[in-house]
Amino acid sequence: MENFLKLFTLKNILVIASFLFIDLLIAFCLVGYLDIIHEYHTKNKNEFYNFSTMTTDVKIAYVGLKTLGAINLCVIGYIIYRIITHFIKIKNTNLQYLDFPKDN
């Protein structure tokens, strides 16, 4: 349990908070840009989500947002994997120190 509590140092909390802030800032910028473009296309009755009619900057923003979502899913999956393996390791370590009755 002590190793688990070492994860919650001030340095680790600040690093995680800064990554989350940067991630959310990028996501909000991309979503805001796509929202502005979407409103323009809605007013002019143009197709918006047709990839062939998008301009290059809209394609970059759209693909960037999808890529950011995929990266976030991979990071969340990795964090869940690390937590699960950490608890499995603790469980196996604790089982080594138990006194099981010996078979006669």
Nearest-CA neighbor of 37 among 57, 19, 51, 17?
A: 57
**pLDDT for the residue numbered 42:** 66
Residue 48 lies in a domain: yes
Residue 102 lies in a domain: no
**pLDDT for the residue numbered 89:** 77
Sign, CA torsion 77/79/85/90: negative
pTM, to two decimals: 0.67
| Tally of structural domains, the chain | 1
Residue 101 lies in a domain: no
Parent domain of 62: 2-96
Q: What is the pLDDT of residues 4-56, one digit of tens each?
A: 667 678 888 898 899 999 999 999 999 988 887 777 666 666 665 677 777 88
Give dist(CA 53, CA 34) in Å, integer. Answer: 14
